[in-house]
A and B are shown apart, each in its own frame.
Chain A
Amino acid sequence: MISSEFKYICPKSIEEALERFGEFQGEAVYLSGGTDLVPRMKLGLKKPRAVIDLKDVASMSTVAEEGDYIRIGSLAQLFQLKQTDLVSNRFPALAASLEATSCETLQVRGTIGGNLLQNTRCLFYNQSEFWRRSKGFCLKMGGEKCNAVPGAKKCFANYTSDNAPALCTLQAEVAFAGPNGSRRFKLESLYTGRSDDPFDLEPGEILTDIFVPNKTVAGGYEKLRVRGAVDYPLLGVAFSRGSDSGRLAVGAVGPRPYTVELNEPAQDAMGEAVATVINQVKTVENTVLESAYRKRMIPVLAERLIKKVMEGAE
C-alpha cells in the first residue's frame, strides 16, 4: 500500500510534462515503468505530491538510426529493446546487460530511461518507514549518520543499474529536456559520485533519449547475483571493444559506474586497467554478499569477460 497521497497526472507531451512539474515546485516525480519508483513509494522513501506518468509521450519510446548514432527513446521497454536487432547485432554488451536485468516480467514493465535513473540502493535504506524510524534516519534520508557503516559521514548506497555500465562502455550520451531547455552529454557525466544524491540534474529535467554511437562493437556483460534472475547486481562488469580500443565499466559497487579505457586490450594492459577501477571502489556491508568478496570479484569477472570477448572477436 502507498500510504501517502498524491495527484496522478498523465501529460501528452514533454512540454506539458515540464509545465505540470513546475506547478508542484519540486514535489513531483516522473513515472515510466514504475518498477523502481513504486516500491520506493510503498516504503515511504518517496512521498511526492504528484506523479507525472510519461507513458503517453509517444515520441519517447522509439529506437532508430539517426546519423552517427542509434537513438533509443527513454521509454523503450527493456524486453523489447533486447529483442531489437539494432541493439542485439551492434551492441552485444547492452544486449547482455538487458538480458541480465531482473527478470522478464519486470523487463516488460521497466524502461531503459527508468533503468538509468533508478535510485541507489542499500540494505539499510530500502526498508519500511517503521524500520527506518526505529533504526534512526540515515544520511540518505536526511539523517546524521550512516547506518551501514557506523561513524561514516558519507553514504555508500549502490547504483545498481545493469545497463548503465554497458552503455558507458559504448560511450553513450543522454539527452534531457528541462525547464531551462535541452541538453545532451556523456552518460558518465550524469553522476555526482554521491550515493545519497546520485544524479547531476536540474529539478524537472526529463530524460528523452539515449544516443549510442552507431558502430558495431564486440562486448559482453557479467553480473554477480545470488539467484539466476530477479536479483539486482551485486557487481556488474561490462566490456566493449572497438577496432583499436576497449572500455571496461564496473557497476553496482558505488554511486556510479566506474569506466576505464583500454587502448590495447591485450592481457597485460588489462591488469593495470582493472586495478585503476578497483582503487576507486569502496564496498561496504550493505548488500547480501560480503563487501570484500564483491570487490574481490571485480578482477575475476573482468578477466573472464575480457577473455571471452577477445576470443569471440578473434
Chain B
Amino acid sequence: MENEYTILGERMKRTDSLAKVTGAATFTADIKLPRMLSAKVLRSPHAHARILNIDTGRAEKLPGVKAVVTAADAHGVKWGVFKYTQDHPMLAMDKVRYIGEDVAGVAAVDEETALRALDLITVEYEPLPAVFNPDDAMAEGAPLIHEEYANNINIHVHIDVGDVDAAFNQAHLVREDTFEAAGEAYSTLEPYAVVASYANGFLDLWMPNAGPHVRAKALSNMLKMPLNKVRVRHINVGGHFGARSEVSPGDLVAALLSIKTGRPVKLALTREENAACTRQIHDIKATIKTGVKKDGTITAKDFRVTYDGGAYSSTGPIATSIPYYVYEEAYRFPNVRYNGYRVITNKGIRGMYGAHGRAFLCGNEVQLDMIAQELGMDPMEIRLKNGLKVGEETATKSVIISGGLEAPIRQAAEKARWAKKRIGLPEGEGIGMGCVAIMCGFPMGFRSGSTCYVKINDDGQATIVSGIVDTGMGNESMAVQIASEVLGIPPEDINLVNADTEVTNLDPGAYSQAASFVGGNAVKRACEEAKRQILTLAAAKMDHAMEDLTIKDRTIVSRTDPSKRMPLRWVVREAFFKGEPIAATGAYMPKISFDREWIKNPQGQMAGTYSFGCSIAEVTVDRETGKICIPRFTAAHDCGNPINTMAVEGQIEGSIQQAGVAVLTEENRWSDGWLLNPDLLEYKVPLACDMPEIDTVIVRSNDPEGPFGAKEGGLTTRMNAYSAVACAAHSALGVPLKQLPLTPDRVLKALDKAKGGDA
C-alpha cells in the first residue's frame, strides 16, 4: 500500500532510543540534588499485627540522621482510587497487613546511616492471625483484615445480562471448568525510586509514574497540600506494565521526609523491596461455564472469578473487571453473568497489569477449544462465528466502531498457515489460537481527555507540550512523529515537553491504552490548528490559495505547483511581527459514557474504540519431562493504523515474551506471607534464548476516531498470547492444562491426572 504520509507509519527510530541504549538517559535513581539525603524504610516483619507502639527516639539521635517519619507525621488520609476504596494509609497506622509494609522512614546523610537507624527504631507489635489466600479469607470465622470488608471481600463486580439460566437450559452443550493462575511480578528493570524536594512551599517529585497528574492529586490529598504546590516532574521510566499506575508508599515517605527536613530526599528501593513492597499481580481463580448451540454459537456465559487482592484495595474495581471486559469486547454474549470477587489477604499490594487475567482469559479460550473439539469444529471457526463485528454492541453496550475479530483471526491464520498445520500434527506438537479485544481508554471522569499546546519558534522549530507519559513504550516518540507529520518538519525539529504537572495539562496517562488514541489525537489537533495558522499567513504572503498549500520539509509549498514555496521560518517570523505568534491548543475527549461506573452501573460505552487481536502459538511438549517449547509464534494485532510500524512490532514482540512465553515460567511463589522469589534469578522472566521465532502481523482497520486511524500499539497480544500457548499445549496433549504457569511439573501432573481418568 502506498503510504500517503511523509513519516507517519514509517519505521522511525524512536526519539528516546539513542539515550537509552547508550546509557545516557537518566532515571530517578540517577538524580543528584544539592544537600540531598538518602532514605530507607522500616518494614513490617509481620503479615498481620497490631502496632502497639513505635519508638523512634534512638534512631533520631544517631549522628547523620536528619528525620524519622511514621504515620504520626502523616495526616491520616488513606489512599484508594475511588472514594469507596480508600483504605491504604501508605505508612501503617494502627495495623500492618503484609510483610514489608511501610512502617517508618528515615532520612540520613547516606544510605548506610539510614540503614543503621532502622535498627534503632523499636516497634511493639501484637501479632494477629493472618490469611494468605482468598478461599481461607472468605471462610466463616476468618480474621478480618479490614473492619469494613465483611468476609474480607473488598470488591464484588456483578454483571448480569439477558437470561443466563434459561439460555443454559436451552443450550446444546454446556461445559464448566475451573482455571487457576499464580500471580506475577511486574519485573520492571528499574526498581522503584522517588526523589522529593520541598522548598518555598512547593514539593517537587520525580518517580517512575504512568500519570503525573493523578499522582500529584493523590499526594496533595494525602499531604493536605494544595494541588498546585505538588509538582510531579518528568523523568525517564524503566518499565511500567501497570506497576507504576498508582501512588506508591515510598512517595509519601520521601515527601514527608523532605517536608520535615527541608532538604531533597531520595528513596531508592532494592530489587527485593520492588518485588515485595511495591505492587504485585493478582492470583486468580476462574470458574467458567459456557453454553453453546450445536453450531458453536455461544448462548450463555457464567463466570465466578476470585482475585487475591493482597492487603489493600488499589485499583480494585478496575482490576476485578478488566479481564471480563476484554473478553466481552471480543465475543458476542447474548446472555452473560459475571461475579468477580476481589478478596483481601495478608500479602503484598496488587495492581493492574498489562497481561492481567491469565487464568480467566486462558481458561475461556482453552474451554472454547474443548467445546469446539466436542462439536467437531475448527477452533478458528468457533472464534469467527462468535467474534464481534463493526457496528455490534458488547454485552454491556459498548459499540464497536472499527476492526472486529475476523480480520486478525484470518490474517494470523494465513501467516501461520493454520489450516495446513492444524491437521496431521505429529505427536507432541500443537498449535493454538487466542483472541481478545481491548478498550483504548476507559472512563476516568474529566481526566479521560488530553490536551496539547504547540508553539512554533522563531527558527521554525516546534515545541509541543503534552500530558502524554512514556514509561518505556515509546509514547513520546509517537507524539513527535504525529507532530512531524502534521507540521511538515522533521522529528529533530520538534521539542517535546511532557508529563510535568506544572507545565502540561491533564492526560489519561500511560494506562488504559489511551496514549495514541486520546493523547495522540490532542497532539494532532493542536498541530493542525498551528498548521492552519501558518497556512493562513502563508497564503496571504505568497498570494496563493490556502487550500492548495501544505508544509513539507520545513517549507510551505503549493500542492499543484511545487515551484511555489517559502521557508516555514519566514512565515513564523512574520507572525511574530504581527504580534500573533503561531501557538495553538488541541484537545481530545473520547466519546465514552461517563455514567458508567465499575460496580454501580457497569454498562454503556466503555471506550472510544477497541483494538482486536489474535495470537497463534506452535508448541512441542515433551511427555516425559513435561517441558513445553514454543518454536514459533504469530501475532496479529489490529492497531487501526500504525504510527510507527517498528514500535508496534516491538510492542507485539515484547508482549509475546511477557505473556506468551511467561505463561510457561512466571509466578510469584509464597510461603505464607513471605515472597520466595523477590529477585530476577528465581522469578523466571523469559530470556532471549527462550523466545520463539516471531511473525508479527499488523492489521489495519483505520479507526474513524483515532489519529490517522490509530488505536493502540500491541496490548491485545499481551492479553491473548498466553491463551494461544495454553490452547496449543492442549492441542498437543489432548489434555487441558488448568493450572498456570505451565511449568513442567504442573504439565506432568495434568497428564497423570488425565491417565487416572479424571481430566
**A interacts with B:** yes
B637 within 8 A of A: no
Query: How many Å lie between the Cα of A289 and that of B687 in the bound state?
Result: 18
B553 within 8 A of A: no
Query: How many Å lie between the Cα of A134 and that of B99 in the bound state?
Result: 8
Query: B624 contacts A300, CB within 8 Å?
Result: yes
What are the residues of chain A within 8 A of B624 when measuring CB–CB? 300
How many Å from the CB of A162 to the closest CB on chain B? 15
Query: A229 contacts B671, CB within 8 Å?
Result: no
**Which of B140-148, B293-301, B499-507, B677-685 forms contacts with chain A?**
B677-685
A227 with B676: in contact, given A288-B684, A300-B624 (CB under 8 Å)?
Answer: no
A228 with B687: in contact, given A130-B43, A289-B743 (CB under 8 Å)?
Answer: yes
Of the candidates A128, A130, A133, A300, which one forms a contact with B625 in the assembled complex, judged by CB atoms under 8 Å apart?
A300
Interface string of B95-117 (1 = CB under 8 A from A): 00001100000000001100100
Query: A123 contacts B676, CB within 8 Å?
Result: yes
Query: A229 contacts B674, CB within 8 Å?
Result: no
**Which of A91-99, A163-171, A290-298 forms contacts with chain B?**
A290-298
What are the residues of chain B within 8 A of A300 when measuring CB–CB? 624-625
B463 within 8 A of A: no
Query: How many Å lie between the Cα of A230 and that of B665 in the bound state?
Result: 14
Most chain A beta-carbon neighbours within 10 Å: one of B43, B99, B677, B687: B687
What are the residues of chain B within 8 A of A147 when measuring CB–CB? 671
Query: How many Å lie between the Cα of A290 and that of B626 in the bound state?
Result: 13
Query: B676 contacts A226, CB within 8 Å?
Result: no
Query: A288 contacts B687, CB within 8 Å?
Result: no
Chain A residue with the shortest CB-CB distance to B747: A293
Query: B689 contacts A229, CB within 8 Å?
Result: yes
What are the residues of chain B within 8 A of A135 when measuring CB–CB? 671, 674
Interface string of A178-209 (1 = CB under 8 A from B): 00000000000000000000000000000000
A228 with B689: in contact, given A128-B270, A289-B744 (CB under 8 Å)?
Answer: yes
Of the candidates B272, B676, B681, B684, which one forms a contact with A128 in the assembled complex, judged by CB atoms under 8 Å apart?
B272
Query: B745 contacts A289, CB within 8 Å?
Result: yes
Query: B671 contacts A124, CB within 8 Å?
Result: yes
What are the residues of chain A within 8 A of B99 when measuring CB–CB? 134
* Count of A interface residues, CB-CB < 8 Å: 30
Query: How many Å lie between the Cα of A226 and that of B745 in the bound state?
Result: 10
Chain A residue with the shortest CB-CB distance to B686: A227
A227 with B45: in contact, given A124-B671, A296-B748 (CB under 8 Å)?
Answer: no
Query: B745 contacts A290, CB within 8 Å?
Result: yes
What are the residues of chain A within 8 A of B681 when measuring CB–CB? 230-232
Interface string of A118-134 (1 = CB under 8 A from B): 00000110011011011
Query: B46 contacts A134, CB within 8 Å?
Result: yes
* Count of B interface residues, CB-CB < 8 Å: 31
Query: How many Å lie between the Cα of A123 and that of B682 in the bound state?
Result: 8
**Which label, helix, strand, loop or mixed, suits the secondary structure of the A interface?**
loop
Interface string of A228-242 (1 = CB under 8 A from B): 111110000000000
Query: B669 contacts A226, CB within 8 Å?
Result: no
B690 within 8 A of A: yes
What are the residues of chain A within 8 A of B682 when measuring CB–CB? 123, 288
Query: B743 contacts A226, CB within 8 Å?
Result: yes
Of the candidates A229, A230, A293, which one forms a contact with B745 in the assembled complex, judged by CB atoms under 8 Å apart?
A293
What are the residues of chain B within 8 A of A224 when measuring CB–CB? 625
How many Å from the CB of A73 to the closest CB on chain B? 28
Query: B744 contacts A227, CB within 8 Å?
Result: no
What are the residues of chain A within 8 A of B687 when measuring CB–CB? 103, 227-230
What are the residues of chain A within 8 A of B626 when measuring CB–CB? 293
Q: Which of B463-481 contact A (CB under 8 A)?
A: none
A3 within 8 A of B: yes
What are the residues of chain B within 8 A of A292 when measuring CB–CB? 745
What are the residues of chain A within 8 A of B689 when measuring CB–CB? 227-229
What are the residues of chain B within 8 A of A288 when measuring CB–CB? 669, 677, 682, 684, 743
Chain A residue with the shortest CB-CB distance to B672: A135
What are the residues of chain B within 8 A of A290 when measuring CB–CB? 745
Query: How many Å lie between the Cα of A226 and that of B45 in the bound state?
Result: 30
Q: Which of B662-704 contact A (CB under 8 A)?
A: 665, 669, 671, 674, 676-678, 681-682, 684, 686-687, 689-690
How many Å from the CB of A186 to the closest CB on chain B? 31
Q: Which of A266-314 contact B (CB under 8 A)?
A: 288-290, 292-293, 296-297, 300-301
Of the candidates A3, A123, A133, A228, which one forms a contact with B669 in the assembled complex, judged by CB atoms under 8 Å apart?
A123
A130 with B45: in contact, given A228-B689, A228-B690 (CB under 8 Å)?
Answer: yes
What are the residues of chain B within 8 A of A228 when measuring CB–CB? 687, 689-690
Query: How many Å lie between the Cα of A298 and that of B175 in the bound state?
Result: 38
Query: A227 contacts B671, CB within 8 Å?
Result: no
Chain B residue with the shortest CB-CB distance to A43: B272
Most chain B beta-carbon neighbours within 10 Å: one of A133, A135, A226, A227: A226
Most chain A beta-carbon neighbours within 10 Å: one of B624, B743, B745: B745
What are the residues of chain A within 8 A of B744 when measuring CB–CB? 289, 293
Chain B residue with the shortest CB-CB distance to A128: B272
Chain A residue with the shortest CB-CB distance to B624: A300
Query: How many Å lie between the Cα of A228 and that of B689 in the bound state?
Result: 6
What are the residues of chain A within 8 A of B674 when measuring CB–CB? 131, 134-135
Chain A residue with the shortest CB-CB distance to B673: A134
What are the residues of chain A within 8 A of B112 when measuring CB–CB? 3
Chain A residue with the shortest CB-CB distance to B674: A135
Query: How many Å lie between the Cα of A16 and that of B624 in the bound state?
Result: 53
How many Å from the CB of B166 to the closest CB on chain A? 44
Chain A residue with the shortest CB-CB distance to B626: A293
Query: How many Å lie between the Cα of A231 and that of B748 in the bound state?
Result: 21
What are the residues of chain B within 8 A of A289 when measuring CB–CB? 743-745
Chain B residue with the shortest CB-CB distance to A148: B671
What are the residues of chain B within 8 A of A232 when measuring CB–CB? 681
Query: How many Å lie between the Cα of A3 and that of B113 in the bound state?
Result: 10
Chain B residue with the shortest CB-CB distance to A134: B45
Which residues from chain A sit less than 8 Å from chain B, CB to CB?
Answer: 1, 3, 103, 123-124, 127-128, 130-131, 133-135, 147, 224, 226-232, 288-290, 292-293, 296-297, 300-301
10 A/B residue pairs, CB under 8 Å, sorted by A: A1-B270, A134-B46, A134-B674, A224-B625, A226-B684, A227-B690, A229-B687, A230-B687, A288-B682, A293-B745
Known: A134-B674, A135-B671. 19 other contacts (CB 8 A): A3-B115, A130-B272, A131-B674, A134-B99, A135-B674, A147-B671, A224-B625, A226-B665, A227-B665, A227-B684, A227-B687, A228-B690, A229-B689, A232-B681, A288-B682, A290-B745, A293-B748, A296-B748, A300-B625
